[in-house]
Amino acid sequence: MSNSLYFIRHAETKIKLAKPAREWNLTRAGRLSTKELVETQVFDKMDGIIHSSEKKAKQTANIFAKAINVETYELPEIDELKRSHEGSLTNKEYRARVRTTLTDWEHNEPDWESGEIAHSRFKEGVRRINIMFHNKNILVVSHGIVLTLFFSDLAQFRMIAFERWAQLKFLSWGLVRDNTVLIDIV
């Protein structure tokens, strides 16, 4: 599994509480920030881009793919933690649910996938990526909660996963090779 996996959180999105989060689009600022990151050439040597099935991740991936001329692949296993609360939670209630999810990985908030199940699903996606490629540089575009779960587990920071999530910004990225965090995402 000697791929270098560059995990990145999607760009800033336009929140529309009446729509499921998986259907949200990038903001103009999010598209611009992605293009600016592309111009840094940090990701110029990618051999492929994997993105979740969510619209905002695909949009972010497509900006990179167009600029560096590589193929994109969709992988639902790296989707965000599954939750159905659209339009019914305040920001404070949402953050409280995320806190519970990231401090008690086995717990299921109502209508939410548990952190442990999301983490297992995400790890299966990473396993599949490592089967698809060999000795390649792969950009993986995903989401805040599942990236926090994955990196917190690998770096042995499960106890402070919520605090790590709270620091995570749009387009934050990290590097993992052979299940070792070489560049932390936070």
φ/ψ (deg, to 5) at 49: -130, 130
Give the dihedral sign, CA 97/173/160/150. positive
| CATH number for the domain harbouring residue 116 | 3.40.50.1240
pLDDT of 85 > 80? The answer is no
**For the chain, percent of residues with pLDDT exceeding 70:** 97
Helices 144-154 and 115-132 cross at an angle (nearest 10°) of 80
Global pTM value:
0.96
Instruction: Provide the residue range defining the domain that includes 95.
Output: 4-183
Q: How many domains does one find in the chain? A: 1
Q: Tell me the pLDDT tens digit for each residue of 112-162.
A: 999 999 999 999 999 999 999 999 999 999 999 999 999 999 999 999 999
State how far the Cα of 184 lies from the Cα of 155, in Å rounded to an integer.
Answer: 8
